[in-house]
Amino acid sequence: MSSMIEVKSVQKSFGRLKVINDCSFNIEKGSITGMIGPNGAGKSTIFNIIAGTIPLDTGNIILDGEDVTNQTANALFGKGLLRTFQIAHEFSHMTALENLMMVPPRQLGENLFNAWFQPGKVARQETKNRRKALEVIDYIGLDHVKNELAGNLSGGQKKLLELGRTMMTDSKVVLLDEVAAGVNRTLLKGLTDNILRMNRDLGVTFLVIEHDMDMIAKLCDPVIVLAQGSVMVEGKIEDIQNNPQVIEAYFGSTDAA
């Protein structure tokens, strides 16, 4: 497989604190790659660098063969890279269906000229977006709450809705930030199943930061372990869980006193 994302010798400091230290790894096309590590390992920082939320100091980020180093999140969105958040960012006073319809970029109705002088084109595009939103909301299993205000949905339903929003664009790669946080086990199974389906059916590549090791074990191959701002080890979850370096990084030395 070829690489969807290449992280090359990235470094990032905040003042005198170096958070990312010569970090390099690849995310292969079509993979669901997990990223784990102890608190303070730099997971969120490297995630934000890839997503265009914060700039790196040195190094490069390559997306599908293109150098996108320090491009903005909006620019990366246009190139098919999306991210979700630990806390869902829904439009709470709009329905679940309307939240999905808001996602596609360059909507004609956003332009006042089009709204006044090309209402037919605007209406046709809105009909197309609504049709796709209905397909997506059925796909993710939220059809029964499509007309509910998004602010009234449960935490797990909001996470599903956010995952659905990534399907409203031609996304190549989705960055998932602790998608299991605050989600009950029933809805978590729905989230996991939908991620697997999107990967299988739509070819979406995923990079997942997650503390839920059961979810990582079900979803991810390979798994990257970050420690002190750089990659400690990478491999299958079974090997990672039995790796002495990883055990020590999480739990401290297991040697007898």
109-157 pLDDT, tens per residue?
556 656 566 667 767 768 888 889 999 999 888 999 999 999 999 988 9
pLDDT at position 78: 87
Whether the upstream peptide bond of residue 104 has omega within 30° of 0, thus cis, is no
The answer to whether the CB of 179 falls within 8 A of the CB of 155 is no
The answer to whether the CB of 160 falls within 8 A of the CB of 140 is yes
pLDDT at position 124: 74
- One DSSP character per residue, 41-53 reads SSHHHHHHHHHTS
Residue carrying the six token digits 């006193």: 257
The answer to whether the CB of 138 falls within 8 A of the CB of 160 is no
pLDDT at position 254: 45
Instruction: Please tell me the distance from the alpha carbon of residue 172 to that of residue 80, in angstroms, as a whole number.
Output: 5
pLDDT at position 257: 30
Residue-wise pLDDT tens digits, 176-190: 988 888 788 888 888
pLDDT at position 32: 97
Which residue in 2, 27, 23, 28 sits closest to 11, CA to CA? 23
Q: What DSSP state is assigned to residue 255? A: S
Which residue in 247, 233, 210 sits closest to 47, CA to CA? 210
pLDDT at position 15: 94
Please report the domains of the chain, with CATH numbers, ordered by start residue.
Answer: 3-90+156-251 (3.40.50.300), 92-152 (no CATH)
| Each residue's pLDDT expressed in tens, for the chain with a length of 257 residues | 599 999 999 999 999 999 999 999 999 999 999 999 988 899 999 999 999 999 999 999 999 999 999 999 989 988 999 987 644 578 889 999 999 988 766 665 556 656 566 667 767 768 888 889 999 999 888 999 999 999 999 988 998 898 888 888 878 999 998 888 878 888 888 889 999 999 999 899 999 998 888 899 999 999 999 999 999 999 999 999 888 888 887 766 444 33
Kindly give, in sequence order, each residue whose CB lies less than 8 Å from that of residue 165, ignoring residues fewer than 6 positions away.
99, 100, 103
pLDDT at position 143: 93
H or E segment to which residue 246 belongs: helix 244-251
State the pairing for strand pair 32-36/205-209: parallel
Which residue in 250, 247, 254, 223 sits closest to 34, CA to CA? 223
pLDDT at position 56: 97
pLDDT at position 88: 56
| SS3 category, 175 | strand
H or E segment to which residue 223 belongs: strand 223-227
Instruction: Give the pTM.
Output: 0.83
The answer to whether the CB of 146 falls within 8 A of the CB of 96 is yes
